[in-house]
Amino acid sequence: MRLEYHQVDAFAERPFAGNPAAVVSLTEWLDDELMQRIAAELNLSETAFFVPDSDAPGRFHIRWFTPATEVPLCGHATLASAAVVSEVLQCADWPITFDSASGPLQVDRAGATFTLDLPANPPKAVAAPDGLAEALGCSTSDCLLGSDIFLVALESEQQVCQLKPDFNALSCHIEHGVIVTAVGDTYDFVSRFFAPSIGIDEDPVTGAAHCVLTPYWADRLGKSALRARQISARGGDVACELRYDRVALSGAAVFFSHGNLTVPDET
């Protein structure tokens, strides 16, 4: 069996920036184990699979896999999938909707910019898990939790940039992921995201993390529209807006490669 796939740099305006995602457009779902094995073989932080809804034009069903597991929400791979719908499937009618484990996710397009409508995930103050400070190598006195994503706020962008976490230790203390964030020098806020327990030591740019970050910083800074940068090695800019219980995340996408996957008909 041969499958077409596309690799797209999301939240990027040039190649080798933002967060790369693989996107596989299907006509019907593959076996779960096969999709997981494809994601492990491609070895990007996320591989998205989507299937058009035959009864509703402009509507698709989407799922996301890290190299290790399926996840309930992935922003950058949704943006990448929207780019494939636009450029490969030649969709001219926007917005479109992806139905997912996190509910319907609408994506609109204006020029080269895609805007994702995602559920907000406002964090609440919690005690930091034992060992988290040692694993991150920083203070965790300001720790919050949004669903299954921890958020640790530091005092400066420099502190966030200089972090060198112990990923083996981190995977023992955090089931999903942890954001470390601070007010930015030239952006409203900056962040980094670590999730070694699900196969991603450091994610370059993370949509799901910004569903936590946007309500947090909107409250702290007293404004709903924010300019953010994830300061990973690749880096990426995200325009964020809090819309009641939803978050709008906007960014561009750049195609890096196209190809075919040859996989067995049975796993």
Q: Map out the domains of the chain as residue ranges.
A: 2-118+251-262, 124-243
266: pLDDT confidence band, cut at 50, 70 and 90?
A: low
Q: Which residues of 224-257 are buried (b: 16+ CB within 10 A; e: fewer)?
A: bebebbbbbebbbbbbbbbeeebbbbbbbbbbbe
Q: Which CATH superfamily is domain 2-118+251-262 in?
A: Diaminopimelate Epimerase; Chain A, domain 1 (3.10.310.10)
Res 3: pLDDT = 96
Question: Which residue, among 120, 83, 117, has the nearest Cα to 97 in the 3D structure?
Answer: 117
Q: Is the dihedral of CA 257, 260, 266, 267 positive or negative?
A: negative
Catalytic residues: 46
Looking at domain 124-243, which CATH architecture does it have? Roll (3.10)
Over residues 208-251, the pLDDT tens digits come to: 999 999 999 999 999 999 999 999 999 999 999 999 999 999 99
The reported pTM is: 0.93
Same fold, 2-118+251-262 and 124-243: yes
Over residues 32-75, the pLDDT tens digits come to: 999 999 999 999 999 999 999 989 899 999 999 999 999 999 99
CA distances from 20 to 15, 42, 123, 137, 145 (A): 9, 11, 27, 27, 26
Res 263: pLDDT = 87
Over residues 91-137, the pLDDT tens digits come to: 999 999 999 999 999 999 999 999 999 999 999 999 999 999 999 99
264: pLDDT confidence band, cut at 50, 70 and 90?
A: confident
For residue 267, pLDDT over 70 is answered with: no
